[in-house]
Amino acid sequence: MSDKLKSNVPEGDLAEKWMNYRGTMPLVAPGNKRNIEIIVVGTGLAGASAASTLGELGYKVKCFTFHDSPRRAHSVAAQGGINAAKNYQNDGDSVYRLFYDTIKGGDYRSREANVHRLAEVSRDIIDQCAAQGVPFGREYGGLLANRSFGGVQVSRTFYSRGQTGQQLLIGAYSSLSRQIARGSVTMYNRHEMLDLVKVDGKARGIITRNLLTGKIDRHAAHCVVLATGGYGNVFYLSTNAMNSNVSAGWRAHKKGAFFANPCYTQIHPTCIPVSGEYQSKLTLMSESLRNDGRVWVPKKKEDCKKDPLSIAEEDRDYYLERIYPAFGNLVPRDVASRAAKYVTDDGRGVGATGLAVYLDFASAIERYGKSEANMKGISNPTKAQIVELGEAIVKEKYGNLFHMYEKITDENPYKTPMKIFPAVHYTMGGIWVDYNLQTTIPGCFALGEANFSDHGANRLGASALMQGLADGYFVIPYTIGTFLSKEIRTPIYSAEHTDLEKLKKENTDEEGNIKEFITPNAPEFIEAENAVKERIKTFLNVNGSQSIESFHRRLGRIMWDYCGMSRNAEGLAKARKMIQELRAEYHKDVFVPGSNEEYNPELEKALRVADFMELGELMVCDALNRNESCGGHFREEYQEGGGEALRNDEEYMYAAAWEFTQDNSDWNLHKEQLEYKDIEVKTRSYK
C-alpha cells in the first residue's frame, strides 16, 4: 500500500465497524458548530442531502451549484429505483446480502468496509425519504412495493414509477430549502466552482464564477465537500445530463486529490440507439424494464432488416436467457452490454445502423393479461382481451418510459419491440477517498458519484441513488467531525475584503506567533483567483476556427472507440497520442465567443471540455495500466471462454489512485491494496 494512501478503515468486525466507529469518533459540540463554515459543491442527491443535514446539525453551510436551482441536478433524471436491505418482501434479503451483491457486482474491486456501511445505512434512507413525503410505489395493502434490478436474486429496489431520482431529489431539495429558509444554508445558484484553494496543505475554499455576470469570487471555509457528480460526458455521448462535467473534481485533482480508477466506466445496456450525427445526448431506458422485457436478436443475419413481428419464435435468439440461465435478462450491466456488443459484432444487430438489439414486452403483456383475466374472472379471454389487460399493467409499471420511447423514436413499444443499445451511463472511478470520505487533501471530501469507493469496477442498478443519499444523510455528517473537531479553534473571517494585516495582528499571541485563521484574502486565494482569470482570458483570446462542441465530439469518439466497451493495449496507446494531439489543437484553434462579463454558456463549456481532455488521457493511462478485465473494464487480451472477463487478482486487486504531477501528461500511481476478509473472492458467474 502506498504510504500516501491511508484508508482509515476502523478496526474490528466488519459488521460492527461502523457502529463502533460512529460511537467513538470525535464530535464537534453544538456551540462550536455555529462557528464552523462548510462549503458544499453540488445539490444532487449527495450534495443536497449533505448540505441540509450539516445545516440541521448547526454548521454554517454555503452550497453551490451551476444550475439555476438545486432541484435541477442530474440526479433528477434517475429512473428505476433505489436499493435498500429492508427485506420487506421476506425473500431472504439482508445487510450482508446487499453487501455481498455489491462487492460481487463490482467484481471485487471496491473497499469492503465502505460497502458494508453502505448496506447498513441503506435502510435508514428509505425511512428518511418516506418521512419527507417521497411518494414511493406501494402495494394495495398500503406497504412499500419493490422491484428487482440486475445482478441480484431478491427484490429490494424501491421506486416511484420511472421517476425515482426526481422524487428523491425533490425530497432532498425540500429539506435543503427548509435549511435555506432557516438561514443555516446559504445557497449560491448559477455559481460554478473553477478551482479549489489550499492553504497550509488543507482545503480552505473555492473560486467560483457567477454564471450570470462572470464575476469571479473567493469563498473560504473550514473545509470543502465536493458532490459534483460523474464524468461520463468525457465520451460526449452519454445518458448524463448535458451539463454534467468533471471540472470540480479535476481541479481538486490538480491541487493534490488523487483520482482513482478513472477507467471504470459503466456502459448501460438499455439505451435508445444513436440515430444521427447531430445527436448530443443519449436516452436511457431504465434497467427496470429488464424485469419484464426479453432481449433478443434474430438467429439469422438475413432476418435483421425484417419486421421483428414477422420473425418466428424459433428464429429468435434470446441470447441472455441462453447464455446466463440463472440470471437471464437480469444479468449485471457490464455483462449485458458486452453480450449486445458480441451479437452486433457478429452481424446480427437490428435497426437502420445494425447497432441495436430488441427488448420485447410481448411475453410480459401476455403473461400479465392472462393473470388479470383470471383475477377478473374472465373465462376463455380472447387474444385481444389478454393483450388489452396486459398492456394496462405494463403501462402502469413503465408508462412514462414507454411514452418517452415513443416520443423519441416515433414507434409504439407496446406493439413492436423496443430497439436498444449500450451507452455510457455512469463512472465508478472518481476522486479517491478514505473511509471518512476525505480525499488526499485534508479538509476536502468527496461524495456521491464524484468519489470512487463503493462500486468497484461495476455498479449494480439502483445503487447510485443509495450511495449518494448514504454519503450525504448518514456518513458525512459524522465523519466530517474527524477533521473539523481539530478545527474548532481556527477562526474564520469570510468577508472577501478584510484587511489581512489587521487579521494577522489580531491572531498573534504574546510570543509573536501567528495563529492559524481562515480568510479569502490569504495570498493562496488571491493567487488562485488570478489563475482562474488568466485561464478564462486565454480561452477567450485563442479566437480559433473550430467550435468547442466539435472538439468535444472528437474527444468522445476517441474515448468510445478505444476506451469504451472493450479496450486493448495497442488502441489505448494510440488513443493517448490522439488525445494529446487533440488537446494541443484545442488550445490553438478553439473559438469561444463573447466575453467573461456576461451570461456565456460557451465559455462554461470551453473550460469543462479542457478538463475532459486532460481526464481522457488519464483514463486511457489507467486502462492501459490495468492488465486484466474486470467489471466495466474489458481488456480484449484478458478474457476466457465466450468473452467473459478474466481478472488478475494476484496483480491487480488494488484501487489505482493517480497523483497529478506538474507535467500535464504524467501521473504517479499509488496502489490501495484491497482486502476481502468477510467474503470469498470468486470468479463472477451469472450462468
Partner 1 sequence: MAGKTINIKVKVWRQGGKYPKGQFETYDLKDVGTDMSFLEMFDVLNEQLVSKKEMPVAFEHDCREGICGTCSMVIDGQPHGPMKGTTTCQLHMRSFKDGATITVEPFRAKSFPVIRDLVVDRSSFDAIIQAGGYISVNTGQAQDANAIPIEKDTSEKAFDAATCIGCGACVAACPNSAAMLFTSAKVSHLATMPQGKVESQKRVQAMVNQMDKEGFGMCSNIKACEAECPKEISTDNIALMNREYLASVLGSDKEG
Ligand X SMILES: Cc1cc2nc3c(=O)[nH]c(=O)nc-3n(C[C@H](O)[C@H](O)[C@H](O)COP(=O)(O)OP(=O)(O)OC[C@H]3O[C@@H](n4cnc5c(N)ncnc54)[C@H](O)[C@@H]3O)c2cc1C
Interface with ligand X (CB under 6 A) = 41-47, 64-67, 73-75, 77-82, 164-165, 192-193, 227-230, 239-240, 244, 247-248, 284, 425-426, 448-450, 462-465, 468
Q: Is there a contact between 686 and 332 (Cβ–Cβ < 8 Å)?
A: yes
* CB of residue 305 to ligand X, shortest distance in Å: 30
DSSP-assigned beta bridge partners for residue 186: 62
Nearer to partner 1, 13 or 396 (CB): 396
The x, y and z cell numbers of residue 13, run together, are 468486525
Residue listed under C-alpha cell 491487480 = 652
Of 95 and 272, the one with the shorter C-beta distance to ligand X is: 272
Judge residue 133's burial from the number of C-beta atoms within 10 Å of its C-beta, 0-12 exposed, 13-18 middle, 19 or more buried: exposed
CA atoms of 125 and 129, how far apart (whole Å):
6
Residue (325 or 399) nearer to ligand X, CB: 399
Nearer to partner 1, 124 or 675 (CB): 124
Select 162 or 262, whichever has its Cβ closest to partner 1.
162
Q: Which is nearer to ligand X, 79 or 436 (CB)?
A: 79
Nearer to partner 1, 175 or 458 (CB): 175
Nearest approach in angstroms of CB 617 to ligand X is: 20
Q: Which does 43 bind (CB under 5 to 8 A by kind): partner 1, ligand X, none?
A: ligand X
Q: Please list, in sequence order, all residues whose beta carbon lies within 8 angstroms of the beta carbon of residue 225, skipping any fewer than 6 positions away.
A: 38, 39, 40, 41, 47, 50, 444, 445, 446, 447, 476, 480
What does 369 bind: ligand X, partner 1, none (CB cut-off 5 to 8 Å by kind)? none
Residue environment code for 17-44, b if the CB has 16+ CB neighbours within 10 A, otherwise e: bbeebbeeeeebeeebbebbbbbbbbbb
CA distance 161 to 593: 42
CB of 123 to partner 1, least distance (A): 9
- Cβ count near 519 (within 10 Å): 24
Let me know if 382 is exposed, middle or buried by CB neighbors in 10 A (0-12, 13-18, 19+). exposed
Residue 618's H or E segment, with its range, is helix 601-625
Specify the DSSP class assigned to residue 634.
Answer: -
Nearest approach in angstroms of CB 437 to ligand X is 12
Distance CA 292, CA 330 (A): 10
Nearer to partner 1, 175 or 629 (CB): 175
Q: How many CB atoms lie within 10 A of CB 359?
A: 22
- What is the rounded CA–CA span in Å between residue 183 and residue 69? 17
Q: Out of ligand X, partner 1, none, which partner does residue 124 contact, by CB within 5 to 8 A per kind?
A: partner 1
CA dist 351 and 369 (Å) reads 29
Q: Distance between CA 631 and CA 458 in Å, rounded?
A: 5
Least Å from the CB of residue 44 to ligand X:
2
Nearest residue (CB) to ligand X, 536 versus 653: 536
**Alpha-carbon separation of residue 77 from 150, 163, 167, 234 (angstroms):** 19, 7, 10, 19
Phi, psi of 424 (to 5 degrees): -60, 135
Longest dimension (CA), the chain: 96
Tell me the three state secondary structure of residue 185. strand
663, three cell numbers: 507535467
Judged by beta carbon distances under 5 to 8 A according to partner kind, the member of ligand X, partner 1, none in contact with residue 164 is: ligand X
- CB burial class (10 A; 0-12, 13-18, 19+) of residue 234? buried
C-beta nearest to ligand X: residue: 44
**Residue 188: CB minimum distance to ligand X, A:** 8
Q: Within the chain, how many helices (H) and strands (E) appear?
A: 19, 23
Query: CB neighbours of 346 closer than 8 A, spacing ≥ 6?
Result: none
Strand bridging mode 644-645 / 639-640: antiparallel
Decide which of partner 1, ligand X, none touches 389; Cβ closer than 5 to 8 Å per partner kind. none
Quickly tell me which residue has 451551476 as its cell: 66
* CB nearer ligand X, residue 52 or residue 79: 79
439 binds, options partner 1, ligand X, none, Cβ within 5 to 8 A by partner type: none
Binding site partner of 256, from partner 1, ligand X, none, Cβ cut-off 5-8 A by kind: none
Question: Measured from the CB of residue 333, what is the shortest distance to ligand X in angstroms?
Answer: 11
Q: In this complex, which beta carbon is closest to partner 1, that of residue 546 or of residue 639? A: 546
The interface partner of residue 508, options being partner 1, ligand X, none and the CB cut-off 5 to 8 Å by kind, is none
474 binds, among partner 1, ligand X, none (CB under 5 to 8 A by kind): partner 1
- Pick between residue 239 and residue 629 the one whose CB is nearest to ligand X: 239
From the list ligand X, partner 1, none, pick the one residue 189 interacts with, judged by a Cβ distance below 5 to 8 Å according to partner type: partner 1
In this complex, which beta carbon is closest to ligand X, that of residue 78 or of residue 311?
Answer: 78
To the nearest whole angstrom, how small is the minimum distance from the Cβ of residue 283 to partner 1?
6
Q: Tell me the closest approach of the beta carbon of residue 184 to partner 1, in angstroms.
A: 11
Smallest distance from partner 1 to CB 684, Å: 31
Query: Minimum distance from CB of 206 to ligand X (Å)?
Result: 8
CB of 669 to partner 1, least distance (A): 35
Least separation in angstroms between residue 411's CB and partner 1 is: 8
The partner in contact with residue 390, picked from partner 1, ligand X, none with C-beta cut-offs of 5 to 8 angstroms by kind, is none
CB of 139 to partner 1, least distance (A): 7
Binding site partner of 143, from ligand X, partner 1, none, Cβ cut-off 5-8 A by kind: partner 1
Q: Where are the beta strands (DSSP E) in 103-173?
A: 157-158
From the list partner 1, ligand X, none, pick the one residue 426 interacts with, judged by a Cβ distance below 5 to 8 Å according to partner type: ligand X
Nearer to partner 1, 547 or 580 (CB): 547
CA dihedral 80, 316, 420, 635 (to 10 degrees): 90
Q: Which does 465 bind (CB under 5 to 8 A by kind): ligand X, partner 1, none?
A: ligand X
Distances (CA, A) of 642 to 267, 590, 649: 19, 44, 20
* Residues whose CB falls within 8 Å of the CB of residue 438, separated by 6 or more in sequence, listed in order: 8, 444, 445, 479, 482, 483
Residues 6+ apart with CB under 8 A from 24: none
